[in-house]
Amino acid sequence: MINSRTLRSSIPVIISLLGLWVLLSEGELSSWLVGFPFLLLAWAIWGQLRDNASPKLQGHLRLKGLVLFLLYFIVESVKGAWDVSRKVLTPRLSLTSTFYDYPIRLESPAARYFFMGSISLLPGTLSVDVKDQHIHIHILDNQGGALEGLKRLEHKIAALFGEEHDS
């Protein structure tokens, strides 16, 4: 049985899933025949993951940090996609790809996993492996200030998870 506390904590997830479905289906009403059962399934899976997640992996997000991170991520994604496209489509520009072991300063495992995923979602970088206190990262072009970008990303994620550390 669903208690009122669980239902209240589910409202943002349900609204997010509904909004995502409306965006994906472009508001087509007939899509709800497929969408509604999958929204219920996604909500049930979210509930299971939330209830069964290891306390080490549960992170508490800050709303202000989330808004700032989303704005940052959108801007960086557009800038990075433009930069990577320009470099790939302009043969005379040389790329100096490299691997780099980035020292992680984030403390919570949830923040670290989020950081690794975010690195891979941003154009031009890919998190390859994590060992001890370092993430092994592939950087498409080492001349573009990727290290400074990684530090800014880590700082935004620290704010998102309520962690304090220097920029």
User: pTM for the full model?
Assistant: 0.63
- Whole-number pLDDT of residue 60: 64
Contact 105, 155 (CB under 8 A): no
Q: 125-156: b or e for each residue (b if 16 or more CB lie within 10 Å)?
A: bbbeebeeeebebebbbeebebeebbeebbbb
Domain boundaries, the chain: 4-52, 63-160
How does pLDDT run across 24-59, given as a tens digit for each residue? 788 888 888 888 888 888 777 777 666 655 454 455
The first and second tokens of residue 75, run together, are 């801007």
How does pLDDT run across 125-138, given as a tens digit for each residue? 889 998 889 999 99
How does pLDDT run across 80-137, given as a tens digit for each residue? 888 878 877 887 777 788 899 999 999 888 888 889 988 988 888 889 998 889 999 9
Strand pairing partners for 138?
99, 126
Q: Which residue has the tokens 């960086």?
A: 76
- Whole-number pLDDT of residue 147: 84
- Whole-number pLDDT of residue 99: 92
- Whole-number pLDDT of residue 57: 45
**Residue 8 C-alpha from the chain's centroid:** 24
More confident residue, 67 or 91: 67
Contact 165, 159 (CB under 8 A): no
Phi, psi of 28 (to 5 degrees): -70, 120
